Amino acid sequence: MIVRLLRYTENPEDLVRWAMSKCYDSSPTLESLQAAIKAGHTSLLEHVSFTWEIQGISRVVLAQLTRHRIASYTVRSQRYCDETEAEYYVPEELAPWHRKRYLQYLDWARTGYENLVASGVDKEIARYVLPQAIHTELVLTMNARELYDVFFPLRLSKRAQPEIRELAELMLQDCCDKAPGIFGSLSDWKGCMQ
């Protein structure tokens, strides 16, 4: 999995504090901003956004990502792109016997796809035999409120699938690095990870 931060709102804490000054006719400090966020005034965070390039995630995780409706997605098209060389997600949790069978099933699906395309079936039709484990890539933009209030609390949870937890942790690290006044540090999110 590759997660690369492409862009983010410059000086995010300053922008949010400036927006906050309009609400309260004041000059908010970083501490007052953090207090406002903790009090639930997270609409301020909608002015900040982050954009990532994400590669090597399964279509399963893509489906989970797109449940976050306050985001923008541009995804590799299986309709036009050739998937004969695509890689697949293989869960680490699989026992050796199950792993062997899992890889065999993936190979059968790849062979089916290749045979269909080679026989003249359009890629947009042949793709129906591809498993959800197939890797995809996308560009994702999400605002800080969605990340703070919804995405990280849901996707860092131990109840979330390991693949999306890994993705969320990589994204959170970027947010903590670029906007620590808003997101804090990774250790501040440990409560979500239980």
Q: Which two tokens stand for residue 132?
A: 């959800």
Q: Which two tokens stand for residue 54?
A: 């994400």
Spatial strand order of the sheet with 49-58 comes to: 2-8, 49-58, 135-143, 71-75
Helix 30-38 to helix 12-24 angle (10° resolution) is 80
User: 50 by DSSP, 3-state: which?
Assistant: strand
**Active-site residue (options: 4, 59, 155, 159):** 155
122 backbone dihedrals φ, ψ, rounded to 5° = -60, 145
d(CA 163, CA 100) in angstroms, rounded, equals 20
Q: Which two tokens stand for residue 13?
A: 């804490």
Place of tokens 């269909």: 116
The verdict on whether 155 is a catalytic residue reads yes
* CA nearest neighbour of 113 among 89, 134, 99: 134
139 backbone dihedrals φ, ψ, rounded to 5° = -115, 130
**Residues belonging to the active site:** 155
